[in-house]
Structure 1
C-alpha cells in the first residue's frame, strides 16, 4: 500500500472520528442547555467537562493529521 493511500485512509478514519465527536458535542450541548433551564447544575457541569475533553481529542487528531501531511511533504 502506498504512503499516499495510507494517508487517505488515515484522513478518512480521523474525519469519521471527528464528525462523531462533533455530533456527541452537539448532543452534550443540548443536554447541558436543558439542564441549565431546569436549574440542574449536576448535569450541566459533567456535560461541559465531557465536551471540553472531546474538543481536546478532536484538536489532537487534527494536529496529528497536519503532522502526518507535513511528514509526507518532506
Structure 2
C-alpha cells in the first residue's frame, strides 16, 4: 500500500526540497569560485577534490529529483 499525502503536505515537501536544492546550488557556485581562485593562484591540488565534492552535490540533487518524481507518481 502506497502512502498518499494530501496536497498541502506535498507542497510542504516540495518547498523543502527546493530549499535544499537552492542551498546545494549555492555551495556548488561557491566551490567553483573558490576552486578557480586557488587554481589561478597556483595551487594545482584543489581541482580534483572540488570535482569529487561537486559530483556528490550532483548526486544529491538527482536523488532529490528522483524522490520528487516518486512523490508525484503516488498522486494517482
TM over 0.5: yes
Alpha-carbon RMSD: 1.2
TM-score, with structure 2 as normaliser: 0.85
Q: Identify which of structures 1 and 2 has the higher relative contact order when contacts are C-alpha pairs closer than 8 Å and 6+ apart.
A: 2
Residues 8-36 of structure 1: per-residue CA shift (max 9 Å, x gap): 00000000000000000000000111122
Q: TM-score, normalised by structure 1?
A: 0.87
* Count of equivalent residues: 72
Query: Which structure 2 residue ranges, 5 or more long, are not aligned?
Result: none
Q: Which runs of 5+ in 1 are unaligned?
A: none
CA–CA distance in structure 2, aligned partners of residues 68 and 41 of structure 1: 43
1:1-74 equivalence runs, <5 A? 3-72=6-75, 74=76
Does the residue aligned with 2:42 lie in a helix, a strand or coil? coil
Alpha carbons 1:18, 1:58 under 8 Å: kept = yes
